[in-house]
């Protein structure tokens, strides 16, 4: 039982490049979230999903896209990388609003 798995762990992108951050969970949870964490700041919500085929924007969605074709996978897409997207990205999942959230180990992204 791996929980929440994020790949890659580290990545350096050039400005304008694109990439997909992968998130997979084996907990059969419907709710999934993407957060970003900048130094000295709390986590900010980028996108979330309440189940397969349903996604919606969070607090800081600009420059990102998501899809949710299966319960297990919730990839985050960066189309035109910018230095402002340098951050650590965390994927999280939860079974319901009254249960604890579980986080992946994060993807550290640097855009140069």
Partner 1 sequence: KQEVTQIPAALSVPEGENLVLNCSFTDSAIYNLQWFRQDPGKGLTSLLLIQSSQREQTSGRLNASLDKSSGRSTLYIAASQPGDSATYLCAVRILYSGNTPLVFGKGTRLSVIA
Closest C-alpha among 108, 107, 112, 60 to residue 83? 112
CA-CA distance, 70 to 18, in Å (whole number)? 22
Query: Is 67 in contact with 55 (CB distance < 8 Å)?
Result: yes
When binding is defined by CB under 8 A, the residue of 50, 79, 83, 84 that contacts partner 1 is 50
Question: CB of 9: closest distance to partner 1 in angstroms?
Answer: 9
Nearer to partner 1, 3 or 83 (CB): 3
CA-CA distance, 64 to 29, in Å (whole number)? 23
99 binds partner 1 (CB under 8 A): yes
Which residues of the shown chain bind partner 1 in the complex (CB under 8 A)?
31, 33, 35, 40-43, 45, 48, 50, 56, 58, 90, 92, 97-106, 108
């Amino acid at each position: 039982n791996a929980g929440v798995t994020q790949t890659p762990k580290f990545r350096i992108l050039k400005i304008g490049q694109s990439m997909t951050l992968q998130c997979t969970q084996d907990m059969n949870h419907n709710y999934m979230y993407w957060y970003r964490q900048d130094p000295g700041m709390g986590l900010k919500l980028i996108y979330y999903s309440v189940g397969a085929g349903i996604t919606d924007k969070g607090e800081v969605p600009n420059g990102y896209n998501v899809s949710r074709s299966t319960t297990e996978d919730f990839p985050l897409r960066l189309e035109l990388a910018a230095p402002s997207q340098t951050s650590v990205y965390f994927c999280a999942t939860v079974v319901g609003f009254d249960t604890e959230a579980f986080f992946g180990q994060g993807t550290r992204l640097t855009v140069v």
